[in-house]
Amino acid sequence: MTIILKYAVLIVFAYFIGSIPSAYIAGKLKKGVDIRKEGTGNVGATNTILVAGPLIGAIVYIFDVLKGLVPVLIARELIGTELSMGLVGLAAILGHDFSFLLAFKGGKGVATTIGTITVLNPLTALLLLATWVSVVVVSR
């Protein structure tokens, strides 16, 4: 497989993984609600905490982090360049933000971005996570 084909396959794969609307699915499974019509209306972990509770919100958050982390780890393993990891991470984030499964709407990409950055720069990911937790705690 040529390097360009590897890039293309990984980028498309990452977009599709990123497009899985975990908050939407969790809302439907937990409460039978469309999370886009509840709380803040956002399809993300923070709104899931508000609508479905902290346990379901935490599960959604972990899944959304993995949507960024796993494709980037695969890119690191198969290609190994920072460019490949960055492009694949970006594709996962864009998939989350503009999911084809939700008419190209989605979340804000915070958790998926943290997953991507965890592979690229773990210290930065920890700082981002601390900031996110602080904002959630303060703003409720």
pLDDT in tens, 59-106: 999 999 999 999 999 999 999 999 999 999 999 999 999 999 999 988
CB 107 within 8 A of CB 23: yes
Question: What is the rounded distance in angstroms from the CA atom of residue 124 to the CA atom of residue 101?
Answer: 30
- pLDDT at position 46 is 87
pTM for the structure as a whole: 0.89
Range of the domain at 20: 3-139
What's the average model confidence in pLDDT over 21-27? Answer: 93
pLDDT tens for each residue of 117-135: 999 999 998 998 888 789 8
CB 13 within 8 A of CB 89: no
Element spanning 7, H or E: helix 3-18
**Count of structural domains, the chain:** 1
Residue with more model confidence, 132 or 18: 18
CB 34 within 8 A of CB 107: no
